[in-house]
Structure 1
Amino acid sequence: MALRVAVIGGGWYGCHMGLSLKGLGFDVQIFERHDRLLNEASGNNQFRLHLGFHYARHHGTRLQSRDGFMRFMERYPNLSREVAENIYAVPREDSLIDFPTYRLVMTASGLEFRELRENSAGLRGVDGMLLTGERVLLIERARQYFKQNLDGVLHLGTEVESVESVGAHVVVNGEPFDYLIDCTWGHRGGLPIRFFYEPTILLYYECDVPFPAVTMVDGPLCSVYPTEDPNIYTLSSVPHTPLGRFDSSAEARAARDAVTGHVVAEKCAAMEDQISRYLPDFRDRFRFLGPQLAIKTKPVGKFDDRSCYVFRRGRVFTVMSGKIDTIFFAVERVLSFIEAGAGDYSEFGGSLLRQEIAAAAGGER
């Protein structure tokens, strides 16, 4: 009889987790409280499929992103598109790292790139630039893909109101399962590490002509990145995108929902001022369309760790990650935990090695 698994959360991780386990023969049920998939941070973020260039200060995140990018392209080849000109630039004065060091870190991490001398964006004040192969995620296409392929196991508009551990089962909304996988990034049951909730604001802009993706690294900098719409871009900023740090999901949601037009105007001015240091004609090229609001869950620390972790407590797994391309690592960890717990060795009586040695020695006489 197939193991029954409940997945809470219909974001990238919940959908991929459910689809993978379903393909392996598990009886999977996915619970998403919204009426559509990828409705929270999975669909409200930069539309970037990472390769690792974003994380000069964390080796593990770079490697997981590099490997995850390749696997994502194999598994979901139609859920992203290429960016004709995708630039990572190191500012001459504002970066925490100089360009030769940044380039060396990326080379040592096995990331492919081409060094640029010129660009069509009109960048100013930079120490060096790399042309990379990072891609744009197609969120609406992903929603349709997962909804179609998860037909029959997907419960949209369904709030998980109760979770109980009863014997060898986890009872979700009164229904027994063998395992539960929480893909809500701590919004439902927290995390077993020090973390915080960060409501965020990204800004949507329109540009009439194709514009490169421009990411300034490394440190409290900014980026302009395309979306699935060829004329719409996001503007984000390390110092200005966060709306605060909170210990509870409820506080973070309240802060996100309380954003006013005045706050949006202040964020626009601050982010435009910052990006204009490197793209002086940004305001002439782009027109503001509106804000994008979301909540991120991050570990406490300054080490820039956005790699993927899976925690287990009994029959409940909790997933924590900062990037979409590490979905494969999460599935493998869950399967490893399940496989390790498949056998019951509580009645193991001890080693027979001593008896085997004695028997072998007796046979030699």
Structure 2
Amino acid sequence: MQASTSVHDAVVIGGGFYGAVIALYLARQRAFKRVCVLEREPGLLRRASYNNQARVHNGYHYPRSFTTAYRSRINLPRFVHDWPQVIKSDFIKLYAIARRNSKVTSKQFQRFCRETNAQMEPAPPALKALFEPRLIEDIFVVQEYAFDSRRLADWAQRELLEAEVALRLNTRVEAITRTGDDRLTVVARGPDGDSYSLDTRYVFNCTYSGLNQIAGDFPGTRTRLKQEITEMALVQAPPELEGLGITVMDGPFFSMMPFPSRGLHTLSHVRYTPHLHWDDAHGVDPYARLADYPRETRVDRMIRDVARYMPAVRDAKYVESLFEVKTVLAKNEVDDGRPILFEKHADLPGCFSVLGGKIDNIYDVLEKLDAEPLVAAPNQSLCS
């Protein structure tokens, strides 16, 4: 059954962190009075915003992508300032350089940190003793944080309500069509199964893995995307590792990071975290592929390999795994860079697609929006 059409200044598709922040930006910085957020899950920040490593990057992770590292160095202090209530900083963060099969040496990593003005110092003997010296060349203490995604979701819920942004949950967007007079129509299906239309001047497609799964006149992204089904293992760290975050660089290695929303650690491995990958294409629904995937954990293989470098991890207690679809720009497979995707669709004026590779990239998106001549239409009824 087709319901009536409601009128908006902007419709944001996707209630993850990026979608929520963009909606708040439109309402507060651009004075849009009629903003709607459409989210397919029953709550905000339930998918990629939650099912990740919860790391606020400070550049160290990207010695082969200076641009990504530089942007993280700029964005981290801003993120900590703007969302202090979600930051976990009471742990020691270590970056270790493997002796073999690493794409960066200790000297190269130190030079990279100097060039990006990133704080680092040699790890003390007690922390170095946690690692197998035959496999690890060097270990450094750095400045990097984790974030609590549940607290971030609570923040988004409160702020959207205060800004009078309409939020429709359990809602799937099926199509975007051009209706003339610089207007767009978003066709959505609500929790009751009925479809309805939203008339708007602007659409912001922030659906992450679902960017290219919208029908109608939506042309798809020009940038090629790669999809991966990934496994993030949640473990209870042994006592000697509990107050640490650890990353071994730069190749087929691993990270073990605090996961504040559960009081656990994530364990990820370059070799075992990606389970399945494919080139993104319209009609190949990433979320359907994830739903059909058997989700057999590889945590035993992760722990077995990690224990070669850090023997104490053998005593980690596996709790569960977070399986999710990870979306990256295909062009950055070589250098592991994580720039944002911000596309204006010339064939569908007023429609934008946005993809962020890391949570701190949100400021890069906001800078792009600042440069856009976005104007709300006057004298129309409020969002219903």
TM-score of the pair, normalised by structure 1: 0.86
Q: Which residue of 1 aligns with 2:291?
A: 257
Shift of 1:337: 2.4
Shift of 1:106: 1.7
Q: Which residue of 2 aligns with 1:107?
A: 114
Confirm or deny that 1:290 pairs with 2:333: no
Q: Which residue of 2 aligns with 1:180?
A: 203
Confirm or deny that 1:315 pairs with 2:329: no
Q: CA RMSD in A?
A: 2.1
| 1:335 corresponds to which of 357, 367, 370 | 370
Deviates more, 1:222-231 or 1:7-16: 222-231
What CA deviation, in whole Å up to 9, does each residue of 1:271-315 have, x standing for no partner?
A: 11221121112112x101111101111122312120113110121
Conserved in 1, the CA contact under 8 Å of 2:224 and 2:280? Answer: no
Secondary structure of the 1:10 match is coil
- Residues of 1 paired with 2:329 and 2:141: CA distance? 30
Q: Which residue of 2 aligns with 1:233?
A: 265
List aligned pairs for 1:132-171, cutoff 5 A.
132-151=142-161, 152-153=164-165, 154-167=167-180, 168-171=182-185
Identical positions, percent = 26
What CA deviation, in whole Å up to 9, does each residue of 1:302-353 have, x standing for no partner?
A: 12120113110121111122100010110220231235x99xxxxxxxxxxx
Greater than 2 Å deviation, 4+ residue runs: 117-121, 188-191, 207-211, 247-261
- Residues of 2 paired with 1:239 and 1:288: CA distance? 18
Secondary structure of the 1:271 match is helix
CA gap 1:212/1:74 in 2 versus in 1, 3 angstroms? same
- Residues of 2 paired with 1:260 and 1:299: CA distance? 26
Q: Which of these two proteins has the greater Rg computed from alpha carbons?
A: 1
Secondary structure of the 2:208 match is coil
Confirm or deny that 1:126 pairs with 2:136: yes
Conserved in 1, the CA contact under 8 Å of 2:209 and 2:326? Answer: no
Shift of 1:71: 1.2
Shift of 1:161: 2.5
CA gap 1:50/1:303 in 2 versus in 1, 3 angstroms? same
Shift of 1:65: 1.2
CA gap 1:331/1:147 in 2 versus in 1, 3 angstroms? same
One-letter amino acid of the structure 2 residue matched with residue 228 of structure 1? P
| 1:19 corresponds to which of 24, 35, 39 | 24
Q: Which residue of 2 aligns with 1:361?
A: none
CA gap 1:176/1:252 in 2 versus in 1, 3 angstroms? closer
CA gap 1:137/1:297 in 2 versus in 1, 3 angstroms? same
Secondary structure of the 2:278 match is coil
Confirm or deny that 1:222 pairs with 2:254: yes
Conserved in 2, the CA contact under 8 Å of 1:201 and 1:241? Answer: yes
- Residues of 1 paired with 2:336 and 2:257: CA distance? 20
Shift of 1:119: 4.2
Confirm or deny that 1:207 pairs with 2:203: no
Q: Which residue of 2 aligns with 1:276?
A: 307
The structure with the greater share of residues assigned to strand is 2
CA gap 1:251/1:315 in 2 versus in 1, 3 angstroms? closer
- Residues of 1 paired with 2:24 and 2:285: CA distance? 32
CA gap 1:235/1:69 in 2 versus in 1, 3 angstroms? same
Instruction: Could you tell me which runs of 5 or more consecutive residues in structure 2 were left unpaired when the two chains were aligned.
Output: 1-6, 188-196, 213-219, 377-384
Conserved in 2, the CA contact under 8 Å of 1:197 and 1:297? Answer: yes
One-letter amino acid of the structure 2 residue matched with residue 223 of structure 1? S
Paired positions, count: 336
One-letter amino acid of the structure 1 residue matched with residue 179 of structure 2? V
Secondary structure of the 2:372 match is helix
Secondary structure of the 2:85 match is coil
TM-score of the pair, normalised by structure 2: 0.82
- Residues of 2 paired with 1:60 and 1:26: CA distance? 33
One-letter amino acid of the structure 2 residue matched with residue 176 of structure 1? D
Secondary structure of the 1:246 match is strand
What CA deviation, in whole Å up to 9, does each residue of 1:145-194 have, x standing for no partner?
A: 11011014222222223311222112123222121111112514342112
Conserved in 2, the CA contact under 8 Å of 1:246 and 1:252? Answer: no
| 1:92 corresponds to which of 94, 99, 121 | 99
What CA deviation, in whole Å up to 9, does each residue of 1:181-232 have, x standing for no partner?
A: 1111251434211221111011111136333111011122101111115741
- Residues of 1 paired with 2:143 and 2:93: CA distance? 7
Instruction: Could you tell me which runs of 5 or more consecutive residues in structure 1 were left unpaired when the two chains were aligned.
Output: 343-365
Q: Which residue of 2 aligns with 1:116?
A: 123
Conserved in 2, the CA contact under 8 Å of 1:61 and 1:305? Answer: yes
Conserved in 2, the CA contact under 8 Å of 1:83 and 1:134? Answer: no
CA gap 1:208/1:117 in 2 versus in 1, 3 angstroms? closer
- Residues of 1 paired with 2:308 and 2:169: CA distance? 44
- Residues of 2 paired with 1:255 and 1:279: CA distance? 34
Conserved in 2, the CA contact under 8 Å of 1:85 and 1:212? Answer: yes
Q: Which residue of 2 aligns with 1:246?
A: 278
